[in-house]
């Protein structure tokens, strides 16, 4: 998808992107410049709530306990 930047530096977000990422009026967008490309990421209104359930399969408790066990042996 392509959009044009106006002389005032504004651009329109295509409706398909707005719908997919739930971007509505007053949604904040974070612009990330890595030196080679630019990424635009919507910032959720409640970032903690947005992360809920994201790490279910990550087994974070097991990783923490393993790390603590390794620290004790050092």
Q: Chain-centre distance of CA 7, in angstroms?
A: 28
Contact assessment for residue 11 and residue 4, using Cβ atoms and an 8 Å cutoff: yes
Instruction: Average the pLDDT over 49-64 and give the result.
Output: 80
The mean pLDDT of 31-39, rounded to a whole number, is: 95
Q: Residue 40: is its pLDDT beyond 90?
A: yes
Task: Report the pLDDT value the prediction gives residue 60, as an integer from 0 to 100.
Answer: 82
Ranges of beta strands (E only) in the chain are 28-33, 38-43
């Amino acid at each position: 998808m392509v959009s044009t930047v106006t002389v005032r530096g504004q651009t329109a977000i295509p409706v398909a992107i707005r719908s997919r990422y739930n971007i509505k009026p007053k949604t904040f967008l974070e612009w990330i410049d890595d030196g080679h490309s630019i990424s635009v990421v919507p910032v959720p209104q409640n970032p903690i709530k947005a992360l809920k359930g994201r790490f279910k399969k990550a087994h974070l408790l097991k990783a923490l306990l393993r790390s603590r066990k390794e620290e004790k042996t050092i």
